[in-house]
Structure 1
Amino acid sequence: MRWTALLVLMGVALAQPLRLEQGWVRRVPGDVTAAYMVLYNPGDRPVRIVGASSPIASRVEFHQTTRGGHDHHADLSAMRRVAALVVPARGRLEVLPGGYHLMLYGLREKNPRPLQEGQRVAITLRLEGGGSVTFSLPVETR
């Protein structure tokens, strides 16, 4: 009986809390870029992403693009930093252009060569409660 419980717990611990359905890092010549992805949460509880890192960036922040400024011009957009991202239970979070995205800063500090088309970039998402998940995203010109 104990072994069965241990195996079940091990299976839960090894289960991936999030699945990457698509993702990429925007190819840019400069020191700042953005990463985009669609994440799926197969679990029964929301997954809160509280931080991120990448070996190619000195820091990674979550941002959201919003439409319409204080003067109510619908054609204006602004970007604001957000503290965390939440992937709903049995749901998806779209981290795509025009909405939520990850900003990668300080590319030249960590990676003196410009990003190349097709290069793979590791992005680690830190989850509330201490877990983390790492995905490898291709660099693309979009």
Structure 2
Amino acid sequence: MHPENITGVDIITISPDGYIRLTFEEFQQVSLVHLMSGLDEGDNLPLVQEGATFAEFTGYTDWVSATSPAISIGWDWMNQFSQVGGVYYKRVSKSRSNLMLVDAKQRDLGPDKTAALIETVVDGIVWQIVVQNYISTRYAS
């Protein structure tokens, strides 16, 4: 196995337009790792105090592949409160990526279809706890 083939995907290259092109099946073999997350500017988080109340806030997260070149995927999220499960994080935007998914004949699926398919993968990973832990550490007082 070549170092470029660490995911079981053939050698990954960047197209002249900046996209990395893979089929959906190839993309599903790529592991994504958390790069960074942050809070949107303007979100004023209340100070934790006695009798504190829940405040919604929004942010962003970026994930990358371990491949070279790296696939980059990012999306926006917000935290919400559930009476049943407490606080949870929810994806609230289309994904942003340098990935263009292609069909078996190497034809682009287009940005909307690519984003929708990326979102099915993103929604299948447990990103929320990773982002929550990162945000808690990054913004600790």
TM-score greater than 0.5 by the shorter chain: no
Structure having the larger proportion of residues in strand: 1
Structure having the larger proportion of residues in helix: 2
- Identify the TM-score tier after normalising by the shorter chain: 0.3 to 0.5
